[in-house]
């Protein structure tokens, strides 16, 4: 396969964006990415979105977005894998370019979650309908079970969960596109409203509108553009049982481990070589379990590592410098693309107050549901 690069990035602010429609959000992000890349055309596009039909009543979004961008006739496809939809859109663009089928492909993600839909119902469609959703289990409930299992098995503490949120809000405070640009402390997290024991309101990512897009191109195109670009060293994916009860260990996320093993092998690197990571912290417990599955720490040690500052800016391996889903926001279809954008900015040296010094390798981890699907990308800075 050919070498592939990301040559352009663009995203909207994340939040409750009442003034923008689904199509406007996507168009803003896509046009910003095209402008950043300096390209005059694209050969196709992939659009990650979890459930635009249920959120805003709009399906067939591939045709809609191509037309609204003023690009009728361009091949376009909607990609869905719950909250991993955006990351898999990037993966599809990667493969199209790597295979030689296209030279310049747009990969985007979009979701409009605040327009009146029953968000709890819509998000529950990413769970097992017969065995989970039908019986009233929500995603906070599912991740609360994961948290309880982790606490029971490893002794993870309520304070350690809170420290994940504190760190990510500290980073999000420095991100102009974040939904919640505010610092919080441990006590505020632990005293926030109970949602699903032991998870409280400030352990949970918010309901968010937003869009993000990247331009993926062949290395030959990237070099000719004479603009900053990063190389996609690996794109790996794995799946697991959709229903949480079907798994052997509730305190683990096997799809993350499998995808990570494949990504590290493709890139020819080990976890200790990664300089910065964006991971799927839909709930604070998710960040801890993902850290363990990625091989950053031994199982059961992630909570202590976060509380000790290992994953803060300036720490051994900064995690979620964007603020993560927790602070930046989580417009589910756009999240995986936004993670890639943060890593591209880090590798370009353009992350401002969030910049990780001398960042050369970055990783994104995006997953759907309670870990039923996971996609990981490893990106490399290019001089």
Q: Do 299 and 343 meet the contact criterion of CB atoms below 8 Å apart? A: no
Q: How many CB atoms lie within 10 A of CB 308?
A: 14
Q: Do 250 and 46 meet the contact criterion of CB atoms below 8 Å apart? A: no
User: Is 278 exposed, middle or buried, given 0-12, 13-18 or 19+ CB atoms closer than 10 A?
Assistant: buried
Please indicate whether residue 374 is annotated as part of the active site: no
Q: Position of tokens 């493969």?
A: 95
Q: Do 306 and 167 meet the contact criterion of CB atoms below 8 Å apart? A: yes
Q: What is the DSSP string of 251-317?
A: T--HHHHHHHHHHHHHHT--GGG--EEE---SBHHHHHHHHHHTTSS-TT-HHHHHHTTTTSTTSSS
Q: Do 375 and 91 meet the contact criterion of CB atoms below 8 Å apart? A: yes
d(C-alpha 4, C-alpha 81), whole Å: 23
**Of the residues 78, 150, 169, 330, which is catalytic?**
330
**Run of H or E including 364:** strand 361-368
Give the 3-state secondary structure of residue 19.
coil
Buried b (16+ CB within 10 A) or exposed e, 49-76: bbbbebbbeeeebbebbbebbebeebbb
**Of the residues 78, 83, 204, 377, which is catalytic?**
83
d(C-alpha 131, C-alpha 207), whole Å: 24
- List, by residue number, the catalytic residues: 83, 330
């Amino acid at each position: 396969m050919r070498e592939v690069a990301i040559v352009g990035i663009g995203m909207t602010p994340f939040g409750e964006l009442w003034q923008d429609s689904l199509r406007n959000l996507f168009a803003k992000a896509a046009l910003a990415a095209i402008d950043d890349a300096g390209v005059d055309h694209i050969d196709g596009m992939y659009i990650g979105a979890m459930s635009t039909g249920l959120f805003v009543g709009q399906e067939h979004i591939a045709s809609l977005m191509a037309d609204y961008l003023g690009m009728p006739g361009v091949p376009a496809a909607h990609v869905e894998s719950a909250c991993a939809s955006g990351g898999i859109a990037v993966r599809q663009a990667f493969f199209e370019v790597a295979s030689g089928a296209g030279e310049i492909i747009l990969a985007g993600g979009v979701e409009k979650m605040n327009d009146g839909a029953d968000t709890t119902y819509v998000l529950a469609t990413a769970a097992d309908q017969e065995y989970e959703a039908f019986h009233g289990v929500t995603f906070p409930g599912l991740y609360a079970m994961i948290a309880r299992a982790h606490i029971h098995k490893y002794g993870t503490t309520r304070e350690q969960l809170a420290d994940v949120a504190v760190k990510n809000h500290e980073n999000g405070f420095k991100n102009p596109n974040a939904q919640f640009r505010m610092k919080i402390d441990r006590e505020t997290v632990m005293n926030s409203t109970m949602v699903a024991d032991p998870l409280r309101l400030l352990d949970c990512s918010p309901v968010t509108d937003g869009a993000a897009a990247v331009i993926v191109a062949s290395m030959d195109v990237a070099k000719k553009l004479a603009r900053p670009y990063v190389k996609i060293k690996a794109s790996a994916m794995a799946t697991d049982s959709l229903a949480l009860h079907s798994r052997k260990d509730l305190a683990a996320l096997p799809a993350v481990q499998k995808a990570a093993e494949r990504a590290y092998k493709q890139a020819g690197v080990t976890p200790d070589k990664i300089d910065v990571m964006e991971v799927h912290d839909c709930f604070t417990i998710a960040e801890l379990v993902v850290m363990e599955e990625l091989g950053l720490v031994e199982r059961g040690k992630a909570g202590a590592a976060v509380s000790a500052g290992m994953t803060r800016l300036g720490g051994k391996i900064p995690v979620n410098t964007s603020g993560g889903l927790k602070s930046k926001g989580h417009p589910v279809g756009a999240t995986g693309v936004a993670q890639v954008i943060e890593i591209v900015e880090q590798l370009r040296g353009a992350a401002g107050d969030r910049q990780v010094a001398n960042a050369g390798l970055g990783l994104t981890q995006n997953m759907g549901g309670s870990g039923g699907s996971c996609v990981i990308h490893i990106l490399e800075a290019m001089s």
